[in-house]
C-alpha cells in the first residue's frame, strides 16, 4: 500500500473542493470530471479511506442530479462498503 504524501493529499483535497463548488453551482458533469483525478489517485494508492468514500458520495450526488439513479446507487454502495470496512477494522486505515 502506497502512503500518500502531504502534497499529494493536498492536490486530492483541492480537486474534491473544486468538484464540490461545481456541484453546488449546479454544474454536475464538470463536477464528475473534477472528481476523476482525486478518486483515481486515492484508488491507485490502494487505501480505502473515508475521504475516498466522501468522493464517492459526491459522485453519487452528481449522478443523482443528472437522473442517473443506477450510477448514483453504485457509488453510494461503494462509499458504504468503505465505511463498513474501516469501522470493522480500524487498523487498516
- DSSP states of 48-75 as a string? --HHHHHHHHHHHHHHHHTT-HHHHHHH
d(CA 93, CA 39): 16
pLDDT digits (tens, 9 = 90+) for 45-84: 666 688 899 999 999 999 999 999 999 999 999 999 988 8
**For residue 10, what are the domain limits?**
6-92
pLDDT digits (tens, 9 = 90+) for 2-32: 566 788 888 889 999 999 999 999 999 999 9
Tally of domains within the chain: 1
Question: Does residue 93 surpass a pLDDT of 90?
Answer: no
Tell me, what DSSP letter sits at residue 31? H
The pLDDT value recorded for residue 48 is: 66
Q: How many other C-beta atoms are found inside a 10 Å radius of the C-beta of residue 85?
A: 14
Q: Is residue 1, in this structure, part of any structural domain at all?
A: no
CATH number at residue 81: 1.25.40.10
Amino acid at each position: 500500500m502506497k502512503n500518500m504524501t502531504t502534497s499529494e493529499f493536498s492536490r486530492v483535497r483541492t480537486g474534491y473542493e473544486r468538484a464540490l463548488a461545481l456541484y453546488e453551482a449546479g454544474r454536475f458533469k464538470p463536477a464528475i470530471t473534477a472528481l476523476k483525478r482525486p478518486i483515481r489517485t486515492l484508488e491507485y494508492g490502494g487505501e480505502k479511506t473515508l475521504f475516498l468514500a466522501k468522493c464517492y458520495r459526491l459522485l453519487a450526488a452528481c449522478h443523482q442530479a443528472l437522473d442517473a439513479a443506477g450510477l448514483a446507487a453504485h457509488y453510494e454502495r461503494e462509499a458504504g462498503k468503505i465505511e463498513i470496512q474501516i469501522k470493522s477494522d480500524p487498523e487498516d486505515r
